Amino acid sequence: LEGIALAPDHPTRMPLLMIHENRGLQPYMLDVARALAEAGHPVVSPDLLTRVGGTARTVDDPSLTTRAVPSEVHEADLIAVFDALVERHGRVGVFGFCFGGEMGWRLVTRRTPERAALFYGIGPDAVDVPAIACPVYAVYAEDDPRVNDTLPPLCEALWEAGTDVVLESWPGTKHAFHDHSRPERHHPEAAAAVWERALAFLA
């Protein structure tokens, strides 16, 4: 687990379980965790690559991703961390990016955080959507065919279930547009806007 210290002069807000992208706790993900902590949120982000050597292994093996571990194992690990945080803090939010957005969707069908902010994640199976009992802020990119092809059935299921959700697609953006470490994808204006909206939603 990566523990991030809170800014001493900021009021403490809801603790967050942050779920990283598919290449683990890369520097960008740690930057996000620090930014959340600076906004007052205690953050825990488990390295889901630990079972195959940890994020550090991606330096020697760039092909290593979270797909090296069965998704059911990731789900069980995240549920264990979530339950531990709830036992300690009572209320917990979820924040996820890419793979983390996908796993965040799955987590909110199994547990009930206070809120979930999920970036460009493939949603859960339609049959699981009625189990979602928390508000969700879901962010997507305009140019992201693999993920966006999954959105019509997700939106239909969310509508039919009456889920408390705000789902946004940002024009002129590509998948991972919030990632400042990928200049070919980073969209500074959209990234800044969704960040402020996500913080306001979590607060």
Q: How many CB atoms lie within 10 A of CB 44?
A: 20
Residue 110's pLDDT is 98
Confidence class for position 2, pLDDT limits 50, 70, 90: very low
Query: What's the whole-number mean pLDDT along residues 11-16?
Result: 85
Instruction: Give me the half-sphere count of Cα atoms (radius 13 Å) on the Cβ side of residue 33.
Output: 24
For residue 11, with 0-12 CB atoms within 10 Å meaning exposed, 13-18 middle and 19 or more buried, which class applies?
Answer: exposed
Task: Give the pair of three-digit tokens for residue 164.
Answer: 């408390």
How many Å apart are CA 50 and CA 186, to the nearest integer? 28
What mean pLDDT value characterizes the chain? 94
Q: Are 43 and 18 in contact (CB under 8 A)?
A: yes
How many Å apart are CA 100 and CA 114, to the nearest integer? 17
Model confidence pLDDT, tens digit, residues 130-162:
999 999 999 999 999 999 999 999 999 999 999
Instruction: Give me the half-sphere count of Cα atoms (radius 13 Å) on the Cβ side of residue 68.
Output: 19
In this structure, the dihedral spanned by the alpha carbons of residues 67, 71, 74 and 78, taken in order and rounded to 10 degrees, is 130
Q: Is the pLDDT of residue 35 over 50?
A: yes
Q: In sequence order, what E strands does the chain have?
A: 2-3, 16-19, 43-45, 93-97, 116-119, 136-143, 165-174
Angle made by CA atoms 141, 143, 144, in degrees to the nearest 5: 75
In this structure, the dihedral spanned by the alpha carbons of residues 39, 41, 42 and 47, taken in order and rounded to 10 degrees, is -90
pTM: 0.94
Model confidence pLDDT, tens digit, residues 157-189:
999 999 999 999 999 999 999 999 999 999 999
Cα distances (Å, whole numbers) of residue 201 to 69, 124, 128, 167, 185: 31, 21, 23, 12, 24
Model confidence pLDDT, tens digit, residues 59-81:
999 999 999 999 999 999 999 99
Model confidence pLDDT, tens digit, residues 190-201:
999 999 999 999
Confidence class for position 12, pLDDT limits 50, 70, 90: confident
How many Å apart are CA 165 and CA 159, to the nearest integer? 9
